[in-house]
A and B are shown apart, each in its own frame.
Chain A
């Protein structure tokens, strides 16, 4: 009995505070389309889920993938093709996209997982480039044009996703599902083993854990969730293009995650929101967006290395002792 209660109290943040914060955040997201342009918000949500999925790998396993665009953009192609060419219902198309990303994740992960650090990053980058090349050449992706004019269709045959609000709330539901899936994985028995492997891999091996399989499992989960984000984006914007599979996209998700805070649950979502908002508001101005984001990135790395959310959490921890 004492064991259980004491253990709860040892959690890094009081549970009540997290619940209140979560409720406020969800309420804000539900109200958002009445204050902000819904398409912008949907873009933010897709990238937020992508960054959270990426963070599952770097923040909780310690693996830096430089090829996550493969899963994000690959899923977008699969979903766009299924919905446009095969006439699938949008949710089924999205699930196919996520499953396809998981399959790609299994292949890339299987080849890369035995390597560590920069070698792991390089292998994922190389495989990502190969996949981008396939997407450029394969007939079903339509090269430079991409797959355009993907119909949003009716969700489960009932809800018309051409209605901006319906599309928004569907995207929000996908994001929340993905986010809570990540939260569940991190705080599961499997998540405990991931943490043990990150803290002391040799010890985990000596306890009989086949650590490569755990890492591969996390890699596939991360790929599937990144795919879920990319697939949803394809329905929202009604196209799938090369932009989403190229290495710049892999770099962008790293940037978002670093800005928001590696290894914090909501940090990557905050980072994604910041980057997308900047890109959006500066798109019309003469100031080059990439330069500004570059400057922000440098400042972030120099001044707050834990990222925005990471620094805030560290500050709160210090204050509460």
Chain B
């Protein structure tokens, strides 16, 4: 089930902002069908790596390969069209659209219902069934007609995942999908990610180490823009350098 073939790999990824090196020589390979975590203390450069992998930032140096082809020169929309779709740390929804509309926006693109300016938007009702199925899968069925802005934080994150899944991407990059969530929400989103990962690859930034231990096949630790360790959660969490970087000095 867990393949050893990397679906996404980056070599020598470096990002400099006016002399400040945010990400330095990062090499990472995410194997197909796995849940891969990117962890590290605040300011380690995790989100920058996400921005580089999805081309929202252009790396100063380095190369990114997705499904065997070089995506380094591509624009972010093109990366998404290849099936590498990301979420954002700050919940990214369309606030004044309803939950249903949010998901339909994602469904519109592959169904060629995005450029039709001469038809009524009621033509989009053909997408309702699929949209409702996705909304139901993340537990938002009762909120389908609420504007996204009125959802609680946890539900906004769930909506974001539903919207991302609507594109049926081969790989999802989730930036702290459970940040700021309560216990119950964490359980629900964990289950959801586990279900998603059955036939997809997931790379996620996550602070909650219990979630990482529970969900992830492989963990890459980033500190000060560099890779500190890489391997299974057990290996990585036993690494003294990781413990020092992640927890500060250790108190026993």
Alpha-carbon gap, A203 to B95, bound state (A):
11
Instruction: Kindly list chain B residues whose C-beta atoms are within 8 Å of the C-beta of A196.
Output: 94, 97, 105
- Apart from A189-B124, A199-B97: 8 A-B pairs, beta carbons within 8 A: A4-B128, A7-B98, A189-B121, A192-B124, A199-B94, A203-B94, A206-B85, A217-B117
Q: From residue A116, how far is it (CB to closest CB) to chain B in Å?
A: 16
- Which of chain B's residues 89-123 have a Cβ closer than 8 Å to chain A? 92-98, 100-101, 104-106, 108-109, 113-121, 123
Query: C-beta contact mask, B38-58 vs A, less than 8 Å → 1, else 0?
Result: 000000000000000010100
Number of A-B contacts (CB under 8 A): 115
Alpha-carbon gap, A208 to B94, bound state (A):
15
Q: Looking at B56, B106, B123, which has the most chain A CB atoms within 10 Å of its CB?
A: B106
A202 and B124 within 8 A (CB): no
Alpha-carbon gap, A81 to B39, bound state (A):
67
Q: Which of A146-154, A180-188, A227-235, A266-274 contacts B (4 or more CB under 8 A)?
A: A180-188
Judge whether A6 is part of the interface by a CB distance below 8 angstroms: yes
Partner of A192 from B77, B86, B104 at Cβ < 8 Å: B104
- Which of chain A's residues 203-234 have a Cβ closer than 8 Å to chain B? 203-211, 214, 217, 221
Instruction: Kindly list chain A residues whose C-beta atoms are within 8 Å of the C-beta of B78.
Output: 208, 210
A200 and B94 within 8 A (CB): yes
B92 and A192 within 8 A (CB): no
- Interchain residue pairs with CB less than 8 A apart (8): A184-B118, A192-B124, A193-B115, A202-B56, A207-B164, A208-B78, A209-B114, A221-B117
Judge whether A119 is part of the interface by a CB distance below 8 angstroms: no
Judge whether A286 is part of the interface by a CB distance below 8 angstroms: no
* Interface magnitude class on chain A: 20 to 34
Alpha-carbon gap, A189 to B118, bound state (A):
9
Query: C-beta contact mask, B143-172 vs A, less than 8 Å → 1, else 0?
Result: 011000000000000000001100100000
Q: From residue A306, how far is it (CB to closest CB) to chain B in Å?
A: 15
Judge whether B80 is part of the interface by a CB distance below 8 angstroms: yes
A218 and chain B: residue at smallest CB distance: B117
Judge whether B59 is part of the interface by a CB distance below 8 angstroms: no
Alpha-carbon gap, A187 to B113, bound state (A):
13
Instruction: Kindly list chain B residues whose C-beta atoms are within 8 Å of the C-beta of A206.
Output: 54, 56, 76, 80, 85-88, 92
Judge whether A3 is part of the interface by a CB distance below 8 angstroms: yes
Judge whether A190 is part of the interface by a CB distance below 8 angstroms: yes
Alpha-carbon gap, A4 to B88, bound state (A):
31
Instruction: Kindly list chain A residues whose C-beta atoms are within 8 Å of the C-beta of B116.
Output: 188-190
A193 and B93 within 8 A (CB): no
Instruction: Kindly list chain B residues whose C-beta atoms are within 8 Å of the C-beta of A190.
Output: 114-117
Alpha-carbon gap, A200 to B163, bound state (A):
13
Q: Looking at B80, B93, B117, B124, which has the most chain A CB atoms within 10 Å of its CB?
A: B117
Instruction: Kindly list chain A residues whose C-beta atoms are within 8 Å of the C-beta of B94.
Output: 195-196, 199-200, 203
Query: C-beta contact mask, A167-178 vs B, less than 8 Å → 1, else 0?
Result: 000000000000
Instruction: Kindly list chain B residues whose C-beta atoms are within 8 Å of the C-beta of A10.
Output: 98, 145
B85 and chain A: residue at smallest CB distance: A206
Partner of B93 from A184, A203, A210 at Cβ < 8 Å: A203
Instruction: Kindly list chain B residues whose C-beta atoms are within 8 Å of the C-beta of A199.
Output: 94-97
B132 and A208 within 8 A (CB): no
Alpha-carbon gap, A301 to B132, bound state (A):
42
Judge whether A93 is part of the interface by a CB distance below 8 angstroms: no
Judge whether A191 is part of the interface by a CB distance below 8 angstroms: yes
**Contact status of A208 and B117, CB under 8 A, knowing A10-B145, A192-B105:** no
Q: From residue B51, how far is it (CB to closest CB) to chain A in Å?
A: 10
Instruction: Kindly list chain A residues whose C-beta atoms are within 8 Å of the C-beta of B95.
Output: 199-200
Judge whether B195 is part of the interface by a CB distance below 8 angstroms: no
A208 and B85 within 8 A (CB): yes
Judge whether B198 is part of the interface by a CB distance below 8 angstroms: no
B121 and A192 within 8 A (CB): yes
Alpha-carbon gap, A112 to B48, bound state (A):
29
Judge whether B241 is part of the interface by a CB distance below 8 angstroms: no
- Which of chain A's residues 1-25 have a Cβ closer than 8 Å to chain B? 3-4, 6-7, 10
A221 and chain B: residue at smallest CB distance: B117
Instruction: Kindly list chain A residues whose C-beta atoms are within 8 Å of the C-beta of B188.
Output: none
**Contact status of A187 and B120, CB under 8 A, knowing A7-B100, A195-B97, A200-B93:** yes
Judge whether B210 is part of the interface by a CB distance below 8 angstroms: no
Alpha-carbon gap, A192 to B98, bound state (A):
11
Partner of B80 from A185, A188, A205 at Cβ < 8 Å: A205
Judge whether B3 is part of the interface by a CB distance below 8 angstroms: no
Q: From residue A206, how far is it (CB to closest CB) to chain B in Å?
A: 5
Judge whether B243 is part of the interface by a CB distance below 8 angstroms: no
